[in-house]
Amino acid sequence: MREISLQANPGQIVGIIGPNGAGKTTLFNCFAGLYHPTRGQIEFLDSPVVPEFSEAMVKRVRRYAFFFLALGLIWLPLFWSFFLPGALFKLELVLLGVFILVIRCLLIRGLLRLQIWAWGLMFVFLLSDLCFAAWWLTHPFSPASLVGARIPVGYIAWPWGFVAGPFSIYLMIQLWVRRVRQLYGFRLRPDAICRLGMARTFQNIRLFFNLSVLDNVKIGCHAQMRTGLSGALLRTRVQREEEAATESEALEHLRFVGLEKRAFDLAGTLAYGEQRRLEIARALASRPRLLLLDEPAAGMNARESSRLIQLVLRIREKGITVLVIEHDMRVMMNLADHIYVLDYGRLIAEGTPDDVRSNPKVIEAYLGGGAAHAEA
Amino acid sequence: MGFRQLGHNPRLLFFGLLLLAVLLPWLPLGSSTNYILRILTTAVLYMVLALGLNIVPGFTGLLDLGYVGFYGIGAYTSGLLAIHYDLSLWVILPLAALNGALWGTLLGAPTLRLTGDYFAIVTFGFSELVVLVLRNELWLTRGPMGLPGISPPSIFGHPLARDWEFFYLILLLLIIVLLVVTRLQDSRIGRAWFAIREDEIAAQCCGVNLIRYKVTAFAISASIGAMGGAFYAKWFKFIHPDMFKFWESILILCLIVFGGMGSIAGTMLGALILIPLSEVLRAVLPQGLFSARYLIYGLVLVLMMRWRPEGLIPFEGAQARKARLARERLNL
Amino acid sequence: MDSLLDQSSLFLQQLVNGVTLGGVYALIAVGYTMVYGVIQLINFAHGEIYMLGAFLAYTMVTVFGIPFFAAFILTMLICSCFGIVLDFIAYRPLRKAPRLAALITAIGMSIFLQNLALMIWGSQIKSYPREVLPPILFKTAWSVGDVTLSWLQIFILSITVLCMAVLHLVIHRTKIGTAMRAVSQDKTTAALMGIGVNRVISFTFAVGSAMGGMAGILVGLYYNAIFPTMGYIAGIKAFAAAVLGGIGSVPGAMLGGGVLGIAEVMGAGYISSEYRDGISYAVMIAVILFKPSGLIGRQIREKA
């Protein structure tokens, strides 16, 4: 996918169309946080789902990470010289040293992948490096020899201390600088995005087939609930009230899509059209501000898709913005306020339904080159 | 078909069985009472262990092959604490559970991001490493010499010595674990686990933080396993690294698969059937064949997966029953 | 402290031993990786086929008095048949089942076979009797200082290299090899193209099992000991090698086998021999955590 620029305003129904393989579902997956784009920015309700970051910044972080790794490798023999006097060889200390090195490598990998836990843990390691470097710098004539060999450890430790100390401080400052800090932790995970208020359905129905219909919707409510382990185990009054409230809310959502009669059947026993509606109910249960519908009318006949159109319009009345991917043109024309057209991962047209319908590029994408000329 | 009747009123059945179990030591069974009690104690112990393991593959859908590692950690925690510090069982049990949860979290946090196959292998590797450490770190565990002379638990100063006392103790432990597991099942956490089992991606998009819930499941499973181990150490009064080999994990997995992965009643039934069966085998088969009894467990796994993968009491059946009860409750 | 010369000859000897062991691991690992490539399942029972190879050859040589090399070939044939049967009864019915079910079946088969062997042959360690083996195998072929290379090691290494070469040719130059590669990339399309997917899978099992069985005999010769639980340990190590090289990639399995063999022997020699098996587990866990696609392998993403 490249060069796609899309915007959805509150209260709109925005449609996305395009031939198969154009990248529509991939786009949804990026919005929902399941895929990470290599470049670009995604913002939802003024929170960056994928922050904008500059290449230069990332390159700088990479350089620092490798430097940190190199220092870490020298750190290992120093560690062993510290703890293993003379030529005595203790398996457990060797394993400990290797283990810490392995953690350092994992940390660097996390750092390079811009993961927030790595960023946090980095400070601990940098601090330990600082202390270690300070120790070596203040004990220049330590009698230890490098891992039992005949090299006095001071020859290695002093230069290392001189480099590692200031570097650790510098790196700590760098990681704290706002622009670098923003690189980490703002790649929101799909569940965090759900909590922010984005919910979705899937092209191939992804229900929890072995659970009851009601349970499916209750899981949709998951993001809005609060109780955790202790509540569940102790059955506190708060927990019991929340469970009851969730149950009635779930039934309410089922009533909204017209499935309350089937609330206690297993989701796998529902008819296809009902399953699609259940997915929508589950998505609505997380009280979203933005709803992503991926081909909701697929496989439906004319009557069912009319009911679907009514359902989506009622969803809009609730104040929820909707993004719809659809192949059924009748549904799309009746629903969308604004349409974006994708082909081969590129945005080829946008506008109101009428604009898009008569756009020659769109016709060409769907029907091939000849048809555009035929229309004209 | 009989299992369907069970489904209709399991509460009654459970309390009936419990009553029977409590009265068991007083029934006039003659000289074999103690023998039967010991078998049943083993069976109930395995019920506890199986309920613990059930949380991971049963509720969350991940294959944990290293469960015996936690069992061993719990047993050695309990044994070492009993020998060096002479603590009471009521202190040891929570400590062992905590230790189990700690190791479960430590192991789970980095590995639960992996796909199912790799996670299974990593857990297997973990349990092997645990056995290796138990066998080789002589300064801690006395290695292959084992850990003899663990003192039995005592209540109000009276040390437990007779078979029926241990039987009641393990029944108590079972009730505690059952309480925990059933409460977890019918809560927000349980639903999140089932969602993860059914479809991870959909669960994520519904707001379930995959890593947190997977690690929680793993840690709770580990702590239950550790509690089982703690009981075992105190009951058997002697532990040895060879008691915690990989094949125990397979046995417990077999219990769950046979009874029904994910369903609590099924898990307990699996243990109740298969463990006494192995005792019967021990009596019937000559020694050489008996040590190969895992052959049967392996065969059970293969056959069950081929012909009845949902087990004796399926998880879906339990869900359907729960839904029916909810419908009755809400009068819809 | 040992002199530098002693140290280097120790190092070289370890290297030689490591490469030999690595060759054997590579043979077993190739079986794992090929099966994973075509059906995306870790065949836990593969280690048991390796063990079975060792024991079948032993039985043929001691009980039936078949000459050694004939027994070698015969064992390979029986093992490949066995692999096909294993796929047919255990894995084929579960092709459409969820992953968890297939994994459990694989483990169940593995445990079943181990204990079957335990029942049939007993738990005592056995070894190939010297009389039936060609005496040249026990002579030293070449030695420089303290470093020795026996004919047995040369035999193992050459067979390993030969097998790898043949396998490479088969996979890249023959029709069935191309079919294997097609199935491992996209099963449905391969079926649509007219490839008999089940037959290709059976063939994969056959080849992998034959090599696994052969590895069993080679190890039995090398360590002069076979026992029913050898499959389980070697299986995990070979799996670690397959993962290290990149599961699903045959050159990866070869590379991984070599690296793991050397790492294990070096580790056992220099660090600790009790934790010898632990080294393989640690390598495997490290690879899985760091780079699950291994040294050469490829990543697969699930589409939402």
Q: Which pLDDT does position A375 carry in this prediction? A: 43
- Domain span including residue C65: 23-137+150-290
Q: Chain A: give the shortest CA distance to residue C196, in Å.
A: 28
Token pair in block for residue C218: 């080679």
Instruction: Verify that A84 and A157 share a domain, yes or no.
Output: yes
Q: What is the pLDDT of residues A290-304, one digit of tens each?
A: 999 999 988 888 888
- Is residue C1 pLDDT above 50, yes or no? no
Mutation target to probe the A interface, by most A beta carbons within 10 A, among B112, B136, B205 is B205
Is B201–C281 a contact, with Cβ atoms under 8 angstroms apart? no
Task: Give the pLDDT confidence score for residue A371 in this predicted structure.
Answer: 47
Residues of A with CB under 8 A from a CB of C: 25, 28-29, 32, 34-35, 87, 91, 94, 102, 105-106, 109, 202
One domain, residues A104 and A172? yes
Chain B neighbours among C 255-294 (CB < 8 Å)?
274-275, 277-278, 281-282, 284-285, 288-289, 292
Question: Which residues contact residue B155 at a Cβ distance below 8 angstroms, ignoring those fewer than 6 apart?
Answer: none
In the predicted structure, residue A376 carries a pLDDT above the cut 50: no
* Same-domain status, A153 and A302: no
Question: Does residue B70 form part of some domain?
Answer: yes
Question: Which residues does chain C have within 8 Å of residue B301's beta carbon, measured at their own beta carbons?
Answer: 104-105, 107-108, 111
Residue A153 lies in a domain: yes
Do A32 and A59 lie in one domain? The reply is no
- Contact of B285 with chain C, judged by CB distance below 8 Å, is answered with no
Task: Write the Ramachandran bin of B25: left for phi over 0, alpha for psi from -120 to 50, otherwise beta.
Answer: alpha
Domain boundary among A154, A183, A212: A183
pLDDT tens, position by position, B207-238: 899 989 999 999 999 999 999 999 998 888 88
Which residue range(s) make up the domain with B219?
37-245
Residue B311: inside a domain: no
Q: Per the domain annotation, does B17 fall within a domain?
A: no
> Are A193 and A329 in the same domain?
yes
Residue A63 in domain: yes
Contact B322 A212 (CB under 8 A): yes
At residue A148, does pLDDT exceed 70?
A: no
Residue A213 domain-assigned?
no
Q: Are strands A42-44 and A47-50 parallel, antiparallel or unpaired?
A: antiparallel
On whether residue A244 sits in a domain, the answer given is no
Q: What is the pLDDT of residue A372?
A: 44
Q: For an interface test with A, give the residue of C4, C272, C274, C293 to mutate (most A CBs within 10 A).
A: C272
Tens-digit pLDDT profile for residues A185-212:
556 778 888 988 899 999 889 999 989 9
pLDDT digits (tens, 9 = 90+) for A341-371: 888 888 888 888 888 888 888 877 776 654 4
Count of A-C CB contacts under 8 Å:
18
* Residue A139 and residue A5 in one domain: no
The answer to the question of residue B285 being in a domain is no
Chains that touch C (3 or more CB pairs under 8 A): A, B
Cβ–Cβ < 8 Å for B104, B222: yes
Same domain, A178 and A60: yes
Q: Residue A54 pLDDT > 50, yes or no?
A: yes
Give the pLDDT band of residue B96 (cuts 50, 70, 90).
Answer: very high
Query: Does A147 share its domain with A60?
Result: yes
The residue-averaged pLDDT of B15-42 equals 79
Q: How many helices (H) and strands (E) does chain C have?
A: 11, 2
* Judgement on whether residues A108 and A19 belong to the same structural domain of the protein: no
Which range among A128-137, A253-262, B157-166 shows the weakest confidence by mean pLDDT?
B157-166
pLDDT value of residue A367: 67
Decide if A14 is inside a domain. Answer: yes
Number of domains present in the structure of chain C? 1
- Kindly report the three-state secondary structure assignment for every residue of chain B: CHHHHHHHCHHHHHHHHHHHHHHHHHCCCHHHHHHHHHHHHHHHHHHHHHHHHHHHHHHHCCCCCCHHHHHHHHHHHHHHHHHHHCCCHHHHHHHHHHHHHHHHHHHHHHHCCCCHHHHHHHHHHHHHHHHHHHHHCHHHHCHHHCEECCCCCEECCEECCCHHHHHHHHHHHHHHHHHHHHHHHCCHHHHHHHHHHHCHHHHHHCCCCHHHHHHHHHHHHHHHHHHHHHHHHHHHCEECHHHHCHHHHHHHHHHHHHHCCCCHHHHHHHHHHHHHHHHHHHHHCCHHHHCCCHHHHHHHHHHHHHHCCCCCCCHHHHHHHHHHHHHHHHCC
ipTM: 0.84
Average pLDDT over residues C102-109: 87
Q: To the nearest whole number, what is the mean pLDDT of chain B?
A: 84
Closest Cα in chain B to C276: B132
Q: Taking CA C288 as the corner, what is the angle to CA C284 and CA C290, rounded to the nearest 5 degrees?
A: 115
Whether C288 sits inside 8 A of B257 (CB atoms) is: no
Distance CA A111, CA A119 (A): 6
Tally of structural domains, chain A: 2
pLDDT at A80: 78
CATH at C163: 1.10.3470
Which among C44, C285, C299 is the top mutation candidate for probing chain B, defined by the most B β-carbons within 10 Å of its own β-carbon?
C285
CATH code at A8?
3.40.50.300
A66 and A35 belong to one structural domain? no
Contact A91 C272 (CB under 8 A): yes
Pair A13, A74 in one domain:
no
Q: How far apart are CA C74 and CA C86, in angstroms?
A: 18
Contact status of B183 with chain A (Cβ, < 8 Å):
yes
| Pair A169, A60 in one domain | yes
B262 close to B45: Cβ distance less than 8 angstroms: no
Please report residues of A whose CB lies closer than 8 A to that of B180: 233
Q: Which residue, among A24, A34, A150, A209, would best test binding to C if mutated, counting the most C CBs under 10 Å from its CB?
A: A34
- How wide is the angle at C-alpha A227 spanned by C-alphas A222 and A232, nearest 5°? 110
Residue B71 has pLDDT above 60, yes or no: yes
Average pLDDT on C157-184 reads 87
The residue segments making up the domain with residue A365 are 1-39+189-197+288-376
In a domain, B258, yes or no: no
- Please tell me the total count of domains within chain B: 1
